[in-house]
């Protein structure tokens, strides 16, 4: 069986969560062609090596801003470019299918990579977009737009369960999407639980787009000397993998997947962004967390508030970060949990895709 698997490049979360599913499909003796770009493509190439063919297709533009309103304005201005890229993806997919046969198409956040003549699946946790101020009419309209893109596919695979609702309103309590097109498969995490001692008081993992990643880095490094305990920090900078000491903390420019997995398993508390892929990793490893949403990214801001309201995490605004106070609050909360493991999710999703 030949599968075209497309992965979004807006951050690394789509690439890392798709890796377990891609690996499972490869283990069934399928032939995979991977479509992605940028750092996401680099991660996939590094993990999969020569097991796949890779195509570098441009993705939708990545909008960032120094403030929330800057992010909103840039995102609104970029909508015509978003639509142009999606239409171009549709054209490239049609051209590819004229010369090559694919039996399935799977896409993780590449909306234009689908085709009516090939059973197509979409992996997505955001069926509803969270509007600034949670304006109901805007959110319903955006969900309708999303349904027009995805509603005709063979199946929409949501990396969450009905019971856990880690994604909250992003994929639950929907008004437009009918249940028949959605499969709640369970969480997808590249990290696995390890039988190691929990000997780290805190693991700080920074990620996300600039300039917000660097702004949070400066805040963390300024406050680290006032925090006691055994602490490890990774700055999320692959081009600066040096090791330094700040106060009692070991600070690394970058940790690879294996080292990241080890540190997450050893940590009693994790401080991180509130991206959904990170939340799934916390649930897979059953970690306590302090969540700091990227300013202006409504999805991360919603997820941070949502999990604080559920009592599963402590959330703090980046501008108001008091590291010692946040860590004291986070340590009192229960860990994230999920009723379905990544291993179970991968088996379910693999069977669904192969069955067509």
For residues 76 and 184, state if they share a domain: yes
pLDDT at residue 134, rounded to an integer: 84
274 CB contacts (<8 Å, ≥6 apart)?
A: 291, 292, 293, 294, 300, 301, 303, 304, 307, 313, 315
Q: How many domains does the chain have?
A: 2
User: 222 CB contacts (<8 Å, ≥6 apart)?
Assistant: none
Beta carbons within 10 angstroms of residue 60's beta carbon: 21
- Distance set, CA 346 to CA 2, 22, 63, 69 (Å): 18, 9, 31, 38
Q: Do 106 and 15 sit in the same domain of this protein?
A: yes
Q: What's the CA gap between 166 and 160, in Å, rounded?
A: 6
Is there a single domain that holds both residue 218 and residue 326?
Answer: yes
Considering just the CA atoms, what is the radius of gyration of the chain in Å? 20
Confidence check: pLDDT of 68 > 60: no
Give the Å distances, CA to CA, from 102 to 31, 97, 327.
Answer: 9, 7, 49
- Residue range 243-293, pLDDT digits in tens: 999 999 999 998 988 999 999 999 999 999 999 999 999 999 999 999 999
Same domain, 147 and 286: no
CA distances from 16 to 19, 199, 258, 322 (A): 5, 26, 13, 30
Whether the ω angle into residue 36 lies within 30 degrees of 0, i.e. cis, is no
Residue 316 confidence (pLDDT):
97
Same domain, 169 and 292: no
> Over the stretch 8-23, which tens digit does the pLDDT of each residue have?
988 788 999 999 999 9
Q: What is the CATH number of the domain that holds 80?
A: 3.40.50.2000
Residue 153 pLDDT greater than 70, yes or no = yes
pLDDT of residue 124: 97
- In a domain? residue 197: no
Same domain, 150 and 296: no
Residue 230 near residue 247, CB atoms below 8 Å: no
For residue 238, the Cα-to-chain-centroid distance in whole angstroms is 18
108 lies in which domain range? 2-190+340-355
The answer to whether residue 306 is domain-embedded is yes
Rounded distance, CA 10 to CA 64, Å? 11
Cα separation of 260 and 234, whole Å? 8
Q: Are residues 32 and 179 in the same domain?
A: yes
pLDDT value for 328 = 95
Q: Are residues 148 and 211 in the same domain?
A: no
User: Is 335 domain-assigned?
Assistant: no
Per-residue pLDDT reduced to its tens digit, 201-245: 999 999 877 888 999 999 999 999 999 999 999 998 877 768 999
Which pLDDT belongs to residue 67? Answer: 59
Proportion of the chain above pLDDT 90, given as a percent: 78
Residues 58 and 127 in one domain: yes
Both 312 and 345 in a single domain?
no
Of residues 238 and 65, more confidence is placed in: 238
């Amino acid at each position: 069986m030949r599968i075209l698997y497309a992965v979004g490049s807006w951050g690394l979360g789509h690439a890392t969560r798709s890796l377990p599913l891609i690996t499972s499909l490869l283990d069934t003796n399928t032939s995979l062609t991977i479509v992605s770009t940028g750092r996401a493509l680099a991660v996939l190439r590094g993990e999969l090596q020569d097991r796949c063919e890779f195509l570098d297709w441009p993705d939708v533009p990545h909008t960032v801003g120094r403030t929330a309103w800057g992010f909103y304005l840039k995102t609104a201005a970029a909508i015509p470019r978003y639509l142009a890229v999606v239409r171009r993806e549709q054209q490239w997919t049609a051209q590819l299918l004229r010369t090559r046969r694919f039996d399935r198409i799977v896409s993780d956040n590449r909306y234009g990579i689908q085709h009516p003549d090939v059973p197509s699946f979409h992996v997505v946790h955001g069926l509803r977009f969270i509007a600034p101020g949670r304006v109901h009419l805007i959110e319903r309209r955006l969900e309708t737009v999303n349904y027009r893109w995805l509603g005709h596919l063979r199946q929409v695979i949501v990396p969450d369960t009905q019971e856990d609702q880690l994604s909250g309103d992003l994929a639950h309590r929907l008004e437009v999407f009918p249940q028949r097109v959605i499969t709640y498969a369970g969480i997808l995490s590249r990290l696995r639980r390890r039988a190691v001692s929990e000997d780290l008081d805190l693991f700080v993992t920074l990620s996300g787009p600039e300039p917000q990643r660097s702004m949070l880095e400066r805040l963390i490094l300024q406050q680290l000397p006032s925090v006691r305990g055994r602490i490890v920090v990774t700055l999320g900078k692959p081009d600066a993998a040096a090791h330094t000491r700040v106060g009692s903390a070991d600070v690394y420019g970058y940790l690879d997947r294996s080292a990241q997995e080890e540190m997450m398993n050893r940590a009693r508390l994790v401080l991180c962004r509130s991206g959904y892929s990170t939340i799934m990793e916390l649930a897979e490893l059953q970690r306590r967390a302090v969540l700091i949403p990227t300013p202006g990214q409504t999805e991360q801001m919603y997820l941070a508030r949502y999990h604080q309201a559920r009592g599963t995490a402590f959330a703090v605004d980046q501008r108001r970060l008091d590291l010692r106070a946040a860590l004291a609050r986070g340590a009192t909360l229960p860990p994230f949990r999920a009723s379905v493991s990544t291993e179970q999710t991968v088996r379910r999703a693999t069977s669904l895709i192969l069955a067509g």
